[in-house]
Amino acid sequence: MKVLKFGGTSVANSNSLRKVISILNDNDGSSLIVVSALGGITNLLQECLILKGKSTQKVLKEIEIRHLEIINNLSSQKSQKPLKKFLKEKLSELEEILYAISTIDEVTKKTVSKVLTLGEILSCKIIYNILKENNFDISIIDSSSIIFTKKANNNDVLDEDKTSINIKNKLALIKSKYIIAPGFICSNNDGEISNLGRGGSDYSAAIYAKYLNAKSLEIWTDVSGVFSANPKIVKKASPIEFLSYKEAMELSFFGAKVIYFPTLRPLIENNIPVYIKNTFEPKANGTCISNSTKLDQDEVVKGISHIENISIINFEGSGMVGVPGFSKRFFESLSIHNINVIMITQASSEFSICIAVNSTDASLAKDVIDKEFEFEISQRRINESEIESELSNIAIVGDKMKSKKGISGKLFNSLGQNNINIRAIAQGASERNISIIIDQKNTKKALNALHETFFEKDLKDIHIFITGVGNVGKYLIEQIKNQKKFISENLKINLKVLGISNSKKMIISKSEIDLNNWLENLKKSNKISHSEDFQNKVIELNLRNSLFIDNTASDLIPDTYSHYLNNGIGIITCNKIANSGSYSNYQSLKVLSRDNNSPFLYETNVGAALPVISTLNNLINSGDKIVKIEAVLSGTLNYIFNSFNEVDTFHEIVSKAVDLGYTEPDPKIDLCGIDVSRKILILARESGYKLEIDDIKKNHFLPEDSIKAESKDDFLLSLKKNKEHFNSILKEAQKSNSRLKFVAKLDNGEASVGLEAVNIDHPFYNLEGSDNITVFYTDRYNDSPLVVKGAGAGGEFTASGVFADIIKASQ
């Protein structure tokens, strides 16, 4: 014989019951069927108790409707009348009990059991008659006359001797293929109806399985087994095909709701396997829980479980050290007051004890502890206990964790990379689980990060939030869209854009934004763009592996960088403002990035997609010393001066560069050398020099009225008015057969920018179009300098550099 238990969702309505009937039709051999109350009925009965019998007519009507739906749809006309009569009688009994409760305004334990067990009594009777009508060879038994409890340490526990005799003797007399019994219900040692508490229906089934020596227990529910994590929080969680009893016990204790750990105790003793199956997907494998676990080579961590609404209580003081019996007093005082301790950690110095309890027990636990050690506290040998709340307990579980090195390291690294602080940690000698306490606000992020680390070997989700969708941003989004499949298949990285904003509108979504029509959706958005609002939404989502992308030239958005980094959100930026502002801010952002494990990448600050900054960093990190840097760092200015070959054309060339998107939104920033000054400043700082922008020597070539122009149009007009000034610069260079280049230099800690006429022997002479060139003179590369050369301007090139930084940060 085997035992089949059908949960509330399996018997919730006529449609789900048809599934149950189909499962039973496919079942081989004799079986005991244990049923729960119809899904949701227990909650309605609890509501009646909460209301203390008052204003319960609406609830009673709902209970009646739910049961009548099944009777009317699955019973014949002949059977409906007695079933409806039975339903009416039981509801009348319930109404009388509720009236009594409302009269005396008191709910006793006995009354609670009478009310709560009604759901199982009704479902069992109705399902029995429906199965009987469907030609099942079936008998019905009353669990309250078979399963008994007794008192032990003031608690109700299973009376194993009495229950064992009842099951073996009474069920041996029944010869039908199927026996059906209500779950949850039992009787106490006074013979009064009682219940088996939380998870009682599963526990009932396990008790029957044990004393019938069943070959297996099948628990049919609405999920396909025990999942690797809570699938409502971790979308990529998957069913665990095999678990050992001990693994299942650990997962259950730490919050897995599919099976309640007392259910496993009777099964362990008789080595009875339990199968968690899905009523609505009966062909799915589900989970098998048994004495052993089938294990893939790399499958060490089997599942991740968690409990929310946890508080930790810290208790410390020198008076604890080396005092025998201290821990006994501590835990005994909690036990007397029925306070369940979820986790314990103690310093090896014995200077402190930290325990985790449910938040509802925290205040009582503190009072109990402080009362027990009142004398020691008064003598200042021990401090009063302290409570920290709004925490979660997360446990990773697996039988083979003990024999596998690096599991703890993976856990800490995964959380650290996502800026999640561990408040407390515990690991048993069996090393079957590692338990941690974290801030509750980080629960979702932590669960997903850990699941990705231990289970998602194929794909890593990267959550991207983009601000600035103009010249650079639009190319970046297009590149992400076009390369998404390639990156996924070859780098195992899933790039998910969840936020987009420009200067007017913004979109923030919990799900991935469709990049095929992002611009249209952005225009339709009713969310006004604001950098702080955008940031608050990103932080509120609190997703692992999050990156903020700044494609703007704004001087306001960099002010938000520190808050992003502090919250574990990486930054990829082509905006030079932050790194060319004050040195203290530049250094502060790098420290925040390091301390919070938040990437801060800005390769495109210098040279667009050219690997200028990374090359410089590699030189320094490998022990080389920078002696001198000479560079043409403005693709814009190189394009302009390469094109300026004829007199009276300077203003036209600059206007064309603006139209091509080569310049900053304000072209004066380029032509005044401000942009190049920022770039050489960043290279100087990356080289180890503590320079400020005012330390850069600037050799201006623009006339005064161009420098003072207040708008882009005024600036371009001033260039036309001063054409003779630019003609003279060109003619002077042509006299010596030289070419004009705007050159940035760093030489022994001194930086400068300015227009120079370079002769034919100079490495910059043949620099074409909008290309950039950076020449590194170092201790190693002295006689033959290291040269980085290529396209250094244009939205598409800059976007590709930003994209490369995104991939680097993701890896």
CB burial class (10 A; 0-12, 13-18, 19+) of residue 509?
A: middle
Q: For residues 696 and 680, what is the distance between their CA atoms, to the nearest angstrom?
A: 8
Task: Give Cα separations from 23 to 11, 32, 278, 502, 771 (angstroms).
Answer: 12, 14, 10, 56, 72
- Alpha helices by DSSP H, listed for 492-560, are 518-524, 531-541
Q: CA nearest 5: which of 330, 373, 266?
A: 266
Cβ distance 218 to 24 under 8 Å?
no
Q: Is 141 left (phi over 0), alpha (psi -120 to 50) or beta?
A: beta
The C-alpha atoms of residue 247 and residue 295 are separated, in whole angstroms, by: 12
Q: Which residue has the tokens 């119809």?
A: 38
Which pair of structure tokens corresponds to residue 420?
A: 């999640």
Which residues have C-beta within 8 Å of that of residue 643, sequence separation ≥ 6? Answer: 649, 653, 656
Nearest residue to 418 (alpha-carbon basis) of 243, 599, 250, 247: 599
Strand partners, 425: 436
Q: Give the span between the Cα atoms of 364 and 354, in whole angstroms.
A: 16
Handedness of CA 47, 52, 55, 57 (dihedral sign): positive
**Residue 689 has which token pair?**
């020099």
679 has catalytic annotation:
yes
How many residues appear in the chain? 811
Beta strands in 384-459 (DSSP E): 386-397, 422-427, 433-439
What are the helix (H) ranges across 105-231?
Answer: 109-116, 118-133, 160-172, 200-211
Taking a C-beta distance cutoff of 8 angstroms, is the pair 665, 553 a contact? yes
Strand pairing of 493-501 and 546-550?
unpaired
The residue annotated as part of the active site, out of 2, 668, 679, 745, is 679
| Tokens linked to 234 | 């971790």
- Other Cβ atoms closer than 10 A to 531: 19
User: Residue 706: CB partners within 8 Å, gap ≥ 6?
Assistant: 668, 671, 715, 718, 719, 722
Q: Could you give the CA distance from residue 741 to residue 775 in angstroms, rounded to a whole number?
A: 14
The C-alpha atoms of residue 540 and residue 307 are separated, in whole angstroms, by 21
CB-CB contact of 652 with 811 (8 Å):
no
Please name the residues in contact with 368: beta carbons below 8 A apart, sequence gap of 6 or more.
333, 334, 336, 337, 339
Half-sphere exposure of 549 (CA within 13 A, CB side): 37
Given a contact cutoff of 8 angstroms between Cβ atoms, the answer to whether 402 and 296 are in contact is no
Which residues form the catalytic set? 679
